[in-house]
Structure 1
Amino acid sequence: MPIKTILLHMANDDRHSARLQAAVSLAKRFDAFVEVLYIATPVTMPAAATGRVASYGFIAESTAIAQEKAGEVEHEVRQALKDCSYSWAVDEGDHVELLARRAAYADLAIVTQSHPAHIEDRVLLHVPDRLPLEAACPTLVLPYDGMPETFGRHVMLAWKNTREAVRAVRESMPFLQAAEKVTVLTVDPPHHTTDTARDVMVYLERHGVRTWHQSNIASGDVGEVVLTCVQDVGADLLVMGAYGHSRFREMVLGGATRTVLQHMHVPALMAH
Protein backbone atom coordinates (compact mmCIF):
# COMPACT_ATOMS: atom_id res chain seq x y z
CA MET A 1 0.00 0.00 0.00
CA PRO A 2 1.38 3.45 -0.86
CA ILE A 3 2.09 5.93 1.92
CA LYS A 4 -0.45 8.72 1.50
CA THR A 5 -1.17 9.73 5.11
CA ILE A 6 1.57 10.27 7.69
CA LEU A 7 0.63 10.62 11.36
CA LEU A 8 3.17 12.88 13.08
CA HIS A 9 3.44 12.84 16.87
CA MET A 10 4.25 16.26 18.30
CA ALA A 11 4.67 17.15 21.96
CA ASN A 12 6.60 19.39 24.33
CA ASP A 13 9.90 17.55 23.98
CA ASP A 14 13.32 18.47 22.62
CA ARG A 15 13.18 16.13 19.62
CA HIS A 16 9.94 17.19 17.97
CA SER A 17 11.91 19.10 15.32
CA ALA A 18 13.63 15.90 14.15
CA ARG A 19 10.24 14.20 13.75
CA LEU A 20 8.97 17.20 11.82
CA GLN A 21 11.99 17.16 9.52
CA ALA A 22 11.48 13.46 8.81
CA ALA A 23 7.78 14.00 8.10
CA VAL A 24 8.53 16.79 5.63
CA SER A 25 11.08 14.63 3.83
CA LEU A 26 8.73 11.64 3.59
CA ALA A 27 5.73 13.75 2.60
CA LYS A 28 7.69 15.09 -0.36
CA ARG A 29 9.13 11.67 -1.22
CA PHE A 30 5.75 9.90 -1.24
CA ASP A 31 3.46 12.86 -2.03
CA ALA A 32 1.72 12.23 1.28
CA PHE A 33 -0.60 14.19 3.57
CA VAL A 34 0.75 14.88 7.06
CA GLU A 35 -1.66 14.68 9.98
CA VAL A 36 0.04 16.52 12.84
CA LEU A 37 -1.24 15.60 16.29
CA TYR A 38 0.12 17.69 19.15
CA ILE A 39 -0.57 15.96 22.45
CA ALA A 40 -0.43 17.77 25.76
CA THR A 41 0.03 15.71 28.90
CA PRO A 42 -2.71 16.36 31.49
CA VAL A 43 -1.56 18.60 34.34
CA THR A 44 -1.04 16.77 37.63
CA MET A 45 -0.64 18.42 41.00
CA PRO A 46 2.79 18.16 42.64
CA ALA A 47 2.88 16.78 46.16
CA ALA A 48 4.20 20.12 47.48
CA ALA A 49 1.13 22.06 46.31
CA THR A 50 -1.39 22.49 49.12
CA GLY A 51 -4.64 24.39 49.36
CA ARG A 52 -7.24 25.30 46.77
CA VAL A 53 -5.60 28.60 45.79
CA ALA A 54 -2.22 26.98 45.25
CA SER A 55 -3.84 24.21 43.20
CA TYR A 56 -5.77 26.60 40.97
CA GLY A 57 -2.70 28.77 40.51
CA PHE A 58 -0.50 25.85 39.54
CA ILE A 59 -3.04 24.47 37.08
CA ALA A 60 -3.63 27.89 35.49
CA GLU A 61 0.09 28.56 35.10
CA SER A 62 0.80 25.08 33.74
CA THR A 63 -2.07 25.34 31.26
CA ALA A 64 -0.86 28.73 30.03
CA ILE A 65 2.67 27.39 29.53
CA ALA A 66 1.33 24.36 27.65
CA GLN A 67 -0.78 26.55 25.37
CA GLU A 68 2.19 28.83 24.67
CA LYS A 69 4.38 25.84 23.81
CA ALA A 70 1.71 24.40 21.52
CA GLY A 71 1.52 27.74 19.74
CA GLU A 72 5.29 27.80 19.21
CA VAL A 73 5.27 24.27 17.81
CA GLU A 74 2.32 25.07 15.55
CA HIS A 75 4.23 28.02 14.08
CA GLU A 76 7.23 25.74 13.46
CA VAL A 77 4.98 23.15 11.81
CA ARG A 78 3.32 25.68 9.52
CA GLN A 79 6.69 26.96 8.34
CA ALA A 80 8.12 23.50 7.73
CA LEU A 81 5.03 22.09 5.98
CA LYS A 82 4.11 25.16 3.95
CA ASP A 83 4.77 23.27 0.71
CA CYS A 84 2.93 20.12 1.84
CA SER A 85 -0.66 19.16 2.53
CA TYR A 86 -1.23 18.80 6.26
CA SER A 87 -3.61 19.23 9.19
CA TRP A 88 -2.97 20.40 12.75
CA ALA A 89 -4.81 19.22 15.84
CA VAL A 90 -4.23 19.52 19.58
CA ASP A 91 -5.42 16.96 22.11
CA GLU A 92 -4.76 16.07 25.73
CA GLY A 93 -4.42 12.65 27.30
CA ASP A 94 -2.49 9.42 26.97
CA HIS A 95 -0.14 9.81 24.02
CA VAL A 96 -0.27 6.20 22.85
CA GLU A 97 -4.05 5.89 23.10
CA LEU A 98 -4.61 9.07 21.10
CA LEU A 99 -2.01 8.16 18.48
CA ALA A 100 -3.34 4.61 18.11
CA ARG A 101 -6.83 5.98 17.55
CA ARG A 102 -5.67 8.15 14.64
CA ALA A 103 -3.27 5.50 13.31
CA ALA A 104 -6.30 3.58 12.04
CA TYR A 105 -6.53 6.19 9.28
CA ALA A 106 -2.81 6.60 8.53
CA ASP A 107 -0.24 4.68 6.52
CA LEU A 108 2.71 5.55 8.76
CA ALA A 109 3.19 6.99 12.27
CA ILE A 110 6.35 8.86 13.27
CA VAL A 111 7.64 8.90 16.87
CA THR A 112 11.03 9.23 18.59
CA GLN A 113 13.06 6.72 20.56
CA SER A 114 12.93 7.40 24.30
CA HIS A 115 15.95 8.57 26.26
CA PRO A 116 15.46 7.29 29.84
CA ALA A 117 18.17 9.61 31.14
CA HIS A 118 16.13 12.69 30.23
CA ILE A 119 13.58 13.79 32.80
CA GLU A 120 11.14 15.11 30.21
CA ASP A 121 10.98 11.63 28.71
CA ARG A 122 9.24 10.22 31.76
CA VAL A 123 5.91 11.25 30.26
CA LEU A 124 6.79 10.09 26.74
CA LEU A 125 8.87 7.10 27.81
CA HIS A 126 6.48 4.39 26.59
CA VAL A 127 5.35 5.93 23.29
CA PRO A 128 7.88 4.08 21.05
CA ASP A 129 7.52 0.94 23.18
CA ARG A 130 3.74 0.69 23.04
CA LEU A 131 2.73 2.30 19.76
CA PRO A 132 4.29 -0.30 17.40
CA LEU A 133 2.24 -2.95 19.22
CA GLU A 134 -1.01 -0.99 19.30
CA ALA A 135 -1.10 1.03 16.06
CA ALA A 136 -2.95 -0.23 13.00
CA CYS A 137 -0.26 1.28 10.77
CA PRO A 138 3.53 0.78 10.86
CA THR A 139 5.56 2.96 13.21
CA LEU A 140 8.73 4.76 12.19
CA VAL A 141 10.86 5.24 15.31
CA LEU A 142 13.58 7.88 14.98
CA PRO A 143 16.77 7.72 17.07
CA TYR A 144 17.04 10.29 19.86
CA ASP A 145 20.72 10.99 19.19
CA GLY A 146 20.24 12.61 15.80
CA MET A 147 18.98 11.86 12.32
CA PRO A 148 21.02 11.18 9.18
CA GLU A 149 20.51 13.70 6.40
CA THR A 150 18.85 10.98 4.36
CA PHE A 151 17.60 7.54 5.30
CA GLY A 152 16.19 4.64 3.35
CA ARG A 153 18.95 4.32 0.75
CA HIS A 154 20.23 1.09 2.29
CA VAL A 155 17.50 -0.81 4.11
CA MET A 156 18.16 -3.79 6.33
CA LEU A 157 15.22 -6.18 6.72
CA ALA A 158 15.49 -8.28 9.89
CA TRP A 159 13.65 -11.35 8.68
CA LYS A 160 12.11 -14.45 10.17
CA ASN A 161 9.02 -16.28 9.01
CA THR A 162 6.45 -14.75 11.37
CA ARG A 163 3.27 -12.77 10.96
CA GLU A 164 4.93 -9.66 12.38
CA ALA A 165 7.85 -9.80 9.95
CA VAL A 166 5.54 -10.48 7.00
CA ARG A 167 3.46 -7.46 7.92
CA ALA A 168 6.61 -5.34 8.26
CA VAL A 169 7.63 -6.34 4.73
CA ARG A 170 4.25 -5.47 3.25
CA GLU A 171 3.92 -2.20 5.15
CA SER A 172 7.44 -1.06 4.27
CA MET A 173 7.16 -1.83 0.55
CA PRO A 174 7.34 1.85 -0.53
CA PHE A 175 10.67 2.18 1.33
CA LEU A 176 11.98 -1.11 -0.04
CA GLN A 177 11.06 -0.22 -3.62
CA ALA A 178 12.71 3.20 -3.32
CA ALA A 179 15.92 1.90 -1.70
CA GLU A 180 19.21 1.63 -3.55
CA LYS A 181 20.04 -1.54 -1.64
CA VAL A 182 18.08 -3.96 0.56
CA THR A 183 19.86 -6.46 2.80
CA VAL A 184 17.80 -9.34 4.17
CA LEU A 185 19.20 -10.44 7.53
CA THR A 186 18.42 -13.80 9.08
CA VAL A 187 19.71 -14.61 12.55
CA ASP A 188 20.41 -18.14 13.81
CA PRO A 189 20.06 -20.20 10.59
CA PRO A 190 19.18 -23.48 12.39
CA HIS A 191 15.83 -21.94 13.30
CA HIS A 192 15.35 -19.45 10.45
CA THR A 193 16.65 -21.23 7.37
CA THR A 194 17.98 -19.74 4.18
CA ASP A 195 14.98 -21.31 2.41
CA THR A 196 12.76 -18.92 4.35
CA ALA A 197 14.99 -16.00 3.35
CA ARG A 198 14.92 -17.17 -0.25
CA ASP A 199 11.13 -17.14 -0.26
CA VAL A 200 10.89 -13.54 0.94
CA MET A 201 13.67 -12.48 -1.43
CA VAL A 202 11.76 -13.96 -4.38
CA TYR A 203 8.60 -12.23 -3.16
CA LEU A 204 10.40 -8.89 -3.00
CA GLU A 205 11.98 -9.40 -6.42
CA ARG A 206 8.49 -9.73 -7.90
CA HIS A 207 7.80 -6.28 -6.48
CA GLY A 208 10.90 -4.88 -8.14
CA VAL A 209 13.10 -5.06 -5.03
CA ARG A 210 16.55 -6.55 -5.51
CA THR A 211 17.97 -7.97 -2.28
CA TRP A 212 21.16 -9.33 -0.75
CA HIS A 213 21.15 -11.96 1.98
CA GLN A 214 23.20 -11.95 5.17
CA SER A 215 23.07 -14.81 7.67
CA ASN A 216 24.29 -14.62 11.27
CA ILE A 217 24.30 -16.98 14.24
CA ALA A 218 23.20 -15.41 17.51
CA SER A 219 24.97 -16.57 20.66
CA GLY A 220 23.15 -14.03 22.81
CA ASP A 221 20.67 -11.20 22.36
CA VAL A 222 19.23 -11.28 18.84
CA GLY A 223 18.58 -7.54 19.04
CA GLU A 224 22.28 -6.86 19.59
CA VAL A 225 23.15 -9.00 16.57
CA VAL A 226 20.68 -7.06 14.44
CA LEU A 227 22.10 -3.70 15.52
CA THR A 228 25.67 -4.86 14.95
CA CYS A 229 24.78 -6.01 11.44
CA VAL A 230 23.06 -2.70 10.70
CA GLN A 231 26.28 -0.90 11.58
CA ASP A 232 28.54 -3.37 9.77
CA VAL A 233 26.74 -3.07 6.41
CA GLY A 234 26.10 0.67 6.73
CA ALA A 235 22.31 0.45 6.58
CA ASP A 236 20.43 3.68 7.28
CA LEU A 237 16.97 2.16 7.90
CA LEU A 238 15.97 -0.99 9.77
CA VAL A 239 12.72 -2.80 8.98
CA MET A 240 11.51 -5.44 11.41
CA GLY A 241 8.48 -6.94 13.07
CA ALA A 242 7.58 -5.63 16.52
CA TYR A 243 7.18 -8.59 18.85
CA GLY A 244 5.31 -8.63 22.12
CA HIS A 245 3.22 -10.70 24.47
CA SER A 246 0.19 -9.99 26.61
CA ARG A 247 0.70 -9.32 30.31
CA PHE A 248 -1.75 -7.73 32.71
CA ARG A 249 -4.03 -6.84 29.76
CA GLU A 250 -1.22 -4.89 28.09
CA MET A 251 1.18 -5.77 25.30
CA VAL A 252 4.77 -6.07 26.50
CA LEU A 253 7.75 -5.91 24.15
CA GLY A 254 9.77 -9.00 23.36
CA GLY A 255 13.50 -9.04 24.15
CA ALA A 256 14.94 -8.35 20.68
CA THR A 257 12.45 -5.56 19.97
CA ARG A 258 13.19 -3.93 23.32
CA THR A 259 16.94 -4.10 22.70
CA VAL A 260 16.61 -2.45 19.30
CA LEU A 261 14.40 0.34 20.66
CA GLN A 262 16.82 1.01 23.51
CA HIS A 263 20.07 1.02 21.53
CA MET A 264 19.20 1.88 17.91
CA HIS A 265 21.13 4.61 16.08
CA VAL A 266 19.26 4.52 12.76
CA PRO A 267 15.52 4.88 12.10
CA ALA A 268 13.53 1.67 12.57
CA LEU A 269 10.24 0.90 10.84
CA MET A 270 8.23 -1.59 12.88
CA ALA A 271 4.91 -3.38 12.42
CA HIS A 272 3.04 -5.76 14.68
Structure 2
Amino acid sequence: MSVVADAPNRAPEGGLQPAPPVAGRPSDIVAIATCTSEWNPAVQVGAALAARWQSLLTGCYVDESLRVLRGPESEPSVAGLLLDTPVRDFEEGSAFRAFAKSLGVPHASWVVAHTGLARVLRELGAWHSLAVLERDLVDGEALGELLGEALLACRLPSLVLPPAWDRGDQFQRVLVAWDGSTEATRAIHAALPFLAGARRVVLLDGGRVHGPEGTCYLPHFQPFVYMARHGIEADPMCVGIPARTAGAALLKKAEQVGADLIVMGAFAHSRLRERVIGGATRYILEHAQIPVFLQH
Protein backbone atom coordinates (compact mmCIF):
# COMPACT_ATOMS: atom_id res chain seq x y z
CA MET A 1 0.00 0.00 0.00
CA SER A 2 1.48 3.34 -0.97
CA VAL A 3 0.78 6.43 1.11
CA VAL A 4 0.83 9.78 -0.67
CA ALA A 5 1.27 13.26 0.78
CA ASP A 6 -0.36 12.59 4.13
CA ALA A 7 -0.68 16.24 5.13
CA PRO A 8 -3.38 17.77 7.33
CA ASN A 9 -5.99 20.11 5.93
CA ARG A 10 -4.69 23.16 7.75
CA ALA A 11 -6.74 26.20 8.64
CA PRO A 12 -5.81 29.45 6.87
CA GLU A 13 -2.85 31.28 8.35
CA GLY A 14 -3.88 32.95 11.57
CA GLY A 15 -7.05 30.85 11.76
CA LEU A 16 -8.13 28.24 14.28
CA GLN A 17 -6.69 24.76 14.28
CA PRO A 18 -9.02 21.91 13.20
CA ALA A 19 -11.41 20.86 15.95
CA PRO A 20 -10.80 17.51 17.67
CA PRO A 21 -13.06 14.58 16.76
CA VAL A 22 -16.56 14.73 18.24
CA ALA A 23 -16.66 12.56 21.37
CA GLY A 24 -18.31 9.20 20.81
CA ARG A 25 -18.07 9.43 17.00
CA PRO A 26 -15.78 7.45 14.68
CA SER A 27 -12.33 9.00 14.99
CA ASP A 28 -10.99 7.51 11.75
CA ILE A 29 -13.04 6.77 8.61
CA VAL A 30 -11.80 4.96 5.50
CA ALA A 31 -13.67 5.39 2.21
CA ILE A 32 -12.97 2.94 -0.62
CA ALA A 33 -12.46 4.84 -3.87
CA THR A 34 -13.36 3.17 -7.16
CA CYS A 35 -12.71 6.10 -9.48
CA THR A 36 -10.89 9.41 -9.32
CA SER A 37 -12.21 11.31 -12.34
CA GLU A 38 -15.20 12.10 -10.14
CA TRP A 39 -15.54 10.87 -6.59
CA ASN A 40 -17.74 7.82 -6.15
CA PRO A 41 -20.58 7.73 -3.57
CA ALA A 42 -18.50 5.98 -0.89
CA VAL A 43 -15.91 8.77 -0.97
CA GLN A 44 -18.61 11.46 -0.96
CA VAL A 45 -20.48 9.91 1.97
CA GLY A 46 -17.29 9.10 3.89
CA ALA A 47 -16.03 12.66 3.49
CA ALA A 48 -19.39 14.14 4.53
CA LEU A 49 -19.46 11.98 7.68
CA ALA A 50 -15.84 12.88 8.49
CA ALA A 51 -16.66 16.57 8.16
CA ARG A 52 -19.75 16.28 10.36
CA TRP A 53 -17.97 14.34 13.09
CA GLN A 54 -14.54 15.98 12.60
CA SER A 55 -13.05 12.54 11.97
CA LEU A 56 -9.79 11.76 10.23
CA LEU A 57 -10.41 10.49 6.70
CA THR A 58 -8.50 8.01 4.56
CA GLY A 59 -9.30 7.58 0.89
CA CYS A 60 -8.15 4.18 -0.36
CA TYR A 61 -8.07 3.22 -4.04
CA VAL A 62 -8.07 -0.47 -4.98
CA ASP A 63 -7.88 -1.27 -8.69
CA GLU A 64 -10.78 -3.30 -10.06
CA SER A 65 -8.45 -6.08 -11.25
CA LEU A 66 -7.16 -6.66 -7.70
CA ARG A 67 -10.25 -6.27 -5.51
CA VAL A 68 -11.35 -9.92 -5.43
CA LEU A 69 -7.93 -11.33 -4.53
CA ARG A 70 -7.93 -13.29 -1.28
CA GLY A 71 -5.61 -15.46 0.77
CA PRO A 72 -2.23 -16.21 -0.89
CA GLU A 73 -3.48 -14.52 -4.07
CA SER A 74 -3.61 -11.19 -2.24
CA GLU A 75 0.19 -10.92 -2.06
CA PRO A 76 1.21 -7.78 -3.99
CA SER A 77 1.97 -8.77 -7.59
CA VAL A 78 4.29 -7.23 -10.14
CA ALA A 79 1.29 -6.27 -12.25
CA GLY A 80 -0.41 -4.68 -9.25
CA LEU A 81 2.66 -2.68 -8.33
CA LEU A 82 2.74 -1.25 -11.85
CA LEU A 83 -0.90 -0.16 -11.92
CA ASP A 84 -0.32 3.27 -10.40
CA THR A 85 2.74 5.45 -10.84
CA PRO A 86 3.94 7.71 -7.99
CA VAL A 87 3.13 10.78 -10.09
CA ARG A 88 -0.46 9.69 -10.60
CA ASP A 89 -0.73 8.78 -6.91
CA PHE A 90 0.44 12.26 -5.95
CA GLU A 91 -2.04 13.99 -8.28
CA GLU A 92 -4.97 11.90 -7.07
CA GLY A 93 -3.92 12.40 -3.46
CA SER A 94 -3.84 16.16 -3.93
CA ALA A 95 -7.29 16.14 -5.55
CA PHE A 96 -8.68 13.97 -2.75
CA ARG A 97 -7.34 16.20 0.01
CA ALA A 98 -8.67 19.29 -1.77
CA PHE A 99 -12.12 17.68 -2.05
CA ALA A 100 -12.10 16.66 1.63
CA LYS A 101 -10.92 20.11 2.71
CA SER A 102 -13.76 21.76 0.74
CA LEU A 103 -16.23 19.83 2.90
CA GLY A 104 -14.50 20.70 6.19
CA VAL A 105 -12.64 17.44 6.88
CA PRO A 106 -9.86 18.26 9.38
CA HIS A 107 -7.31 15.76 8.00
CA ALA A 108 -7.31 13.58 4.87
CA SER A 109 -4.89 10.88 3.70
CA TRP A 110 -4.74 9.09 0.36
CA VAL A 111 -3.45 5.54 -0.15
CA VAL A 112 -3.31 3.26 -3.17
CA ALA A 113 -3.46 -0.45 -2.38
CA HIS A 114 -1.81 -3.05 -4.60
CA THR A 115 -3.56 -6.06 -3.14
CA GLY A 116 -7.05 -7.51 -2.57
CA LEU A 117 -9.89 -5.65 -0.88
CA ALA A 118 -10.27 -8.14 1.98
CA ARG A 119 -6.63 -7.77 2.95
CA VAL A 120 -6.85 -3.98 2.62
CA LEU A 121 -9.87 -3.80 4.93
CA ARG A 122 -8.21 -6.09 7.47
CA GLU A 123 -5.11 -3.89 7.48
CA LEU A 124 -6.93 -0.56 7.64
CA GLY A 125 -9.37 -1.95 10.19
CA ALA A 126 -6.56 -2.03 12.74
CA TRP A 127 -6.62 1.77 13.02
CA HIS A 128 -9.95 2.89 11.58
CA SER A 129 -13.37 3.10 13.22
CA LEU A 130 -15.59 2.85 10.13
CA ALA A 131 -15.32 1.75 6.50
CA VAL A 132 -17.56 3.17 3.77
CA LEU A 133 -17.82 1.24 0.52
CA GLU A 134 -20.23 0.36 -2.27
CA ARG A 135 -21.89 -2.96 -2.87
CA ASP A 136 -21.09 -3.09 -6.58
CA LEU A 137 -17.34 -2.55 -6.31
CA VAL A 138 -17.14 -6.33 -6.80
CA ASP A 139 -19.62 -9.01 -7.86
CA GLY A 140 -22.47 -9.44 -5.36
CA GLU A 141 -21.47 -12.92 -4.22
CA ALA A 142 -17.80 -11.99 -3.97
CA LEU A 143 -18.64 -8.98 -1.77
CA GLY A 144 -20.18 -11.26 0.86
CA GLU A 145 -17.02 -13.37 1.01
CA LEU A 146 -14.69 -10.36 1.05
CA LEU A 147 -16.65 -8.50 3.72
CA GLY A 148 -16.99 -11.66 5.75
CA GLU A 149 -13.23 -12.14 5.75
CA ALA A 150 -12.62 -8.52 6.72
CA LEU A 151 -15.40 -8.22 9.31
CA LEU A 152 -14.49 -11.44 11.04
CA ALA A 153 -10.77 -10.65 11.08
CA CYS A 154 -10.83 -7.12 12.47
CA ARG A 155 -14.50 -6.38 13.37
CA LEU A 156 -14.40 -3.16 11.39
CA PRO A 157 -17.88 -1.57 11.25
CA SER A 158 -18.82 -1.07 7.60
CA LEU A 159 -21.36 1.15 5.88
CA VAL A 160 -22.25 -0.54 2.58
CA LEU A 161 -23.99 1.66 0.00
CA PRO A 162 -26.23 0.31 -2.77
CA PRO A 163 -25.26 0.95 -6.41
CA ALA A 164 -25.49 4.56 -7.61
CA TRP A 165 -26.39 5.87 -4.14
CA ASP A 166 -27.15 9.59 -4.49
CA ARG A 167 -29.15 10.41 -1.36
CA GLY A 168 -26.27 11.68 0.73
CA ASP A 169 -25.30 10.95 4.31
CA GLN A 170 -28.39 12.09 6.22
CA PHE A 171 -29.98 8.88 7.52
CA GLN A 172 -33.18 10.05 9.18
CA ARG A 173 -35.10 6.77 9.54
CA VAL A 174 -33.05 3.84 10.79
CA LEU A 175 -34.19 0.25 11.17
CA VAL A 176 -32.20 -1.71 13.77
CA ALA A 177 -32.38 -5.49 13.36
CA TRP A 178 -32.04 -7.21 16.72
CA ASP A 179 -31.92 -10.96 17.32
CA GLY A 180 -30.15 -11.13 20.67
CA SER A 181 -26.78 -12.09 19.19
CA THR A 182 -23.46 -10.60 20.21
CA GLU A 183 -23.04 -9.39 16.61
CA ALA A 184 -26.29 -7.42 16.81
CA THR A 185 -25.21 -5.91 20.14
CA ARG A 186 -21.91 -4.76 18.66
CA ALA A 187 -23.76 -3.30 15.67
CA ILE A 188 -26.02 -1.17 17.89
CA HIS A 189 -23.06 0.05 19.93
CA ALA A 190 -21.01 0.95 16.86
CA ALA A 191 -23.96 2.63 15.12
CA LEU A 192 -24.79 5.01 17.99
CA PRO A 193 -23.61 8.10 16.05
CA PHE A 194 -26.03 7.25 13.24
CA LEU A 195 -28.87 6.48 15.65
CA ALA A 196 -28.34 9.70 17.60
CA GLY A 197 -28.67 11.75 14.42
CA ALA A 198 -31.84 10.05 13.16
CA ARG A 199 -35.35 11.46 13.45
CA ARG A 200 -36.82 7.97 13.91
CA VAL A 201 -35.29 4.68 15.02
CA VAL A 202 -37.27 1.45 14.74
CA LEU A 203 -36.06 -1.53 16.78
CA LEU A 204 -37.05 -4.72 14.99
CA ASP A 205 -36.94 -7.30 17.78
CA GLY A 206 -36.77 -10.80 16.38
CA GLY A 207 -36.35 -12.43 19.77
CA ARG A 208 -33.29 -13.66 21.59
CA VAL A 209 -31.28 -16.39 19.92
CA HIS A 210 -30.67 -19.52 21.98
CA GLY A 211 -27.20 -19.33 23.52
CA PRO A 212 -25.04 -22.09 25.02
CA GLU A 213 -26.08 -23.70 28.27
CA GLY A 214 -25.23 -21.48 31.22
CA THR A 215 -25.65 -18.14 29.45
CA CYS A 216 -28.72 -17.46 31.58
CA TYR A 217 -26.28 -16.47 34.33
CA LEU A 218 -24.68 -13.79 32.15
CA PRO A 219 -25.88 -10.18 32.00
CA HIS A 220 -28.30 -9.64 29.13
CA PHE A 221 -28.16 -6.67 26.80
CA GLN A 222 -31.44 -4.75 26.53
CA PRO A 223 -31.31 -2.75 23.29
CA PHE A 224 -34.32 -0.53 24.00
CA VAL A 225 -33.01 0.46 27.43
CA TYR A 226 -29.45 0.84 26.14
CA MET A 227 -30.48 3.23 23.39
CA ALA A 228 -32.69 5.21 25.79
CA ARG A 229 -29.69 5.73 28.08
CA HIS A 230 -27.95 7.31 25.09
CA GLY A 231 -30.90 9.62 24.44
CA ILE A 232 -32.30 7.57 21.56
CA GLU A 233 -36.03 6.87 21.62
CA ALA A 234 -36.68 3.77 19.54
CA ASP A 235 -40.02 2.46 18.37
CA PRO A 236 -40.10 -1.25 19.27
CA MET A 237 -41.52 -3.71 16.75
CA CYS A 238 -41.62 -7.36 17.77
CA VAL A 239 -41.69 -9.91 14.96
CA GLY A 240 -41.22 -13.60 14.44
CA ILE A 241 -39.19 -14.24 11.30
CA PRO A 242 -38.13 -17.74 10.14
CA ALA A 243 -34.39 -17.92 9.58
CA ARG A 244 -34.78 -19.06 5.97
CA THR A 245 -36.67 -15.89 5.00
CA ALA A 246 -35.06 -13.43 7.42
CA GLY A 247 -33.28 -11.39 4.77
CA ALA A 248 -36.32 -10.77 2.59
CA ALA A 249 -38.54 -10.12 5.62
CA LEU A 250 -36.10 -7.56 7.01
CA LEU A 251 -35.99 -5.66 3.72
CA LYS A 252 -39.80 -5.67 3.59
CA LYS A 253 -40.00 -4.19 7.10
CA ALA A 254 -37.43 -1.55 6.14
CA GLU A 255 -39.61 -0.56 3.20
CA GLN A 256 -42.74 -0.43 5.38
CA VAL A 257 -41.20 2.01 7.87
CA GLY A 258 -39.51 4.08 5.15
CA ALA A 259 -36.03 3.34 6.48
CA ASP A 260 -33.02 4.84 4.75
CA LEU A 261 -30.50 2.80 6.77
CA ILE A 262 -30.43 -0.73 8.20
CA VAL A 263 -28.25 -1.56 11.21
CA MET A 264 -27.52 -5.24 11.77
CA GLY A 265 -24.93 -7.70 12.97
CA ALA A 266 -22.99 -9.77 10.46
CA PHE A 267 -23.12 -13.41 11.47
CA ALA A 268 -21.14 -16.31 10.00
CA HIS A 269 -22.53 -19.79 9.35
CA SER A 270 -19.76 -21.52 11.24
CA ARG A 271 -16.86 -20.60 13.47
CA LEU A 272 -14.78 -23.00 11.35
CA ARG A 273 -15.66 -21.13 8.14
CA GLU A 274 -14.85 -17.60 9.15
CA ARG A 275 -14.92 -16.29 5.59
CA VAL A 276 -18.59 -17.01 5.04
CA ILE A 277 -21.29 -14.46 5.92
CA GLY A 278 -24.68 -15.85 6.96
CA GLY A 279 -27.59 -16.22 4.55
CA ALA A 280 -29.68 -13.28 5.81
CA THR A 281 -26.71 -10.92 5.72
CA ARG A 282 -25.76 -12.09 2.24
CA TYR A 283 -29.32 -11.63 0.95
CA ILE A 284 -29.52 -8.10 2.31
CA LEU A 285 -26.11 -7.17 0.92
CA GLU A 286 -27.20 -8.34 -2.52
CA HIS A 287 -30.71 -6.84 -2.58
CA ALA A 288 -30.94 -3.80 -0.27
CA GLN A 289 -31.69 -0.52 -2.03
CA ILE A 290 -30.62 1.48 1.02
CA PRO A 291 -27.30 1.53 2.91
CA VAL A 292 -26.57 -1.24 5.41
CA PHE A 293 -24.44 -0.76 8.54
CA LEU A 294 -22.73 -4.04 9.45
CA GLN A 295 -20.70 -5.10 12.48
CA HIS A 296 -19.41 -8.50 13.51
Scaled by the length of structure 2, what TM-score is found? 0.72
* Higher helix proportion: 1
Q: 1:94 to 1:208 in 2, by over 3 A?
A: same
- What is the Cα deviation at residue 7 of structure 1? 1.2
**What does 1:115-154 correspond to in 2, within 5 Å?**
126-154=145-173
What residue number does 1:175 align with? 194
Q: 1:159 to 1:91 in 2, by over 3 A?
A: same
Q: Which moved more, 1:244-253 or 1:219-228?
A: 244-253
What residue number does 2:124 align with? 102
- What is the Cα deviation at residue 130 of structure 1? 3.7
The CA distance in 2 between the partners of 1:198 and 1:23, in whole Å, is 30
Letter of the 2:183 partner, please give it. E
* Higher strand proportion: 1
- What is the Cα deviation at residue 14 of structure 1? 9.7
In the alignment, does 2:278 pair up with 1:259?
no
Equivalent position SS for 1:251: coil
What residue number does 1:224 align with? 248
The CA distance in 2 between the partners of 1:142 and 1:153, in whole Å, is 15
- What is the Cα deviation at residue 248 of structure 1? 7.1
The CA distance in 1 between the partners of 2:135 and 2:88, in whole Å, is 21
- What is the Cα deviation at residue 25 of structure 1? 1.3
Q: 1:264 to 1:256 in 2, by over 3 A?
A: same
What residue number does 1:49 align with? none
Residues 186, 216 of structure 1: 8 Å contact kept: yes
In the alignment, does 2:25 pair up with 1:2?
yes
List runs of 5+ in structure 1 lacking aligned partners: 44-57
The CA distance in 1 between the partners of 2:163 and 2:147, in whole Å, is 11
The CA distance in 1 between the partners of 2:236 and 2:142, in whole Å, is 40
- What is the Cα deviation at residue 72 of structure 1? 6.8
What residue number does 1:33 align with? 56
List runs of 5+ in structure 2 lacking aligned partners: 1-23, 67-77, 211-219
What residue number does 2:97 align with? 78
CA-based RMSD: 3.3
What residue number does 1:204 align with? 227
Q: 1:73 to 1:122 in 2, by over 3 A?
A: farther
In the alignment, does 2:264 pair up with 1:240?
yes
Letter of the 1:209 partner, please give it. I
What residue number does 2:3 align with? none
The CA distance in 2 between the partners of 1:154 and 1:264, in whole Å, is 15
Letter of the 2:190 partner, please give it. E
Structure 1, residues 219-268: CA drift from partner, whole Å, max 9, x if none?
55101111111111011111000011348754201110001000011111
What residue number does 1:24 align with? 47
Structure 1, residues 4-44: CA drift from partner, whole Å, max 9, x if none?
1101122459996101110121012211110122224677x
Q: 1:224 to 1:142 in 2, by over 3 A?
A: same
Q: 1:89 to 1:190 in 2, by over 3 A?
A: closer
Residues 36, 86 of structure 1: 8 Å contact kept: yes
Residues 151, 237 of structure 1: 8 Å contact kept: no
The CA distance in 1 between the partners of 2:279 and 2:114, in whole Å, is 31
The CA distance in 2 between the partners of 1:175 and 1:201, in whole Å, is 16
Equivalent position SS for 2:276: strand
Q: 1:59 to 1:99 in 2, by over 3 A?
A: closer
